[in-house]
């Protein structure tokens, strides 16, 4: 068994795809409209789906808002340098909501950014 993908519902698919590709450096792997169901799926990631876990963005055509809920936490992405990644994200128009630095009660360096729908993405050092 392996983890295939994580799905997030988004309000504006094009805006979200731009964020995950232009700001976080993912690739749009595939996108498909389902007119009978009135939704579109877009799969993004850092490598082919056959070997990597990816992110599925779901846009329901007739839904303009979602409640994020208090059970959802965040997505985590490994980066080489958390500080440099935050600077790149800021320059690309991304929103850093927790500046890089050691985690509370620990020494792991991390930061958090937020996507256009308010989902949190944790950046952690790969090393």
Cβ-contact 30, 42 below 8 angstroms: yes
Query: Does 99 qualify as catalytic in the annotation?
Result: no
Contacts (Cβ under 8 Å, ≥6 apart) of 71: none
Residue of 49, 56, 99, 122 with catalytic role: 122
Among residues 85, 93, 70, the alpha carbon closest in space to that of 122 is found at 85
Cα within 13 Å of Cα(95), Cβ side: 8
What are the residue numbers of the active site? 122
């Amino acid at each position: 068994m392996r983890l295939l993908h994580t799905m997030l519902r988004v309000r504006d698919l094009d805006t979200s795809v731009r964020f995950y590709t232009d700001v976080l450096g993912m690739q749009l792997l595939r996108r498909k409209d389902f007119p009978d169901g009135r939704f579109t799926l877009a799969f993004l990631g850092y490598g082919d789906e056959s070997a990597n876990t990816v992110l599925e963005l779901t846009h329901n055509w007739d839904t303009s808002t979602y409640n994020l809920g208090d059970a959802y936490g965040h997505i985590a992405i490994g980066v080489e340098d958390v500080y440099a990644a935050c600077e790149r994200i800021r320059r690309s128009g991304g929103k850093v909501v927790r500046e890089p630095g050691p985690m509370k009660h620990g020494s792991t360096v991390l930061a958090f950014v937020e996507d256009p729908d308010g989902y949190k993405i944790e950046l952690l050092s790969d090393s």
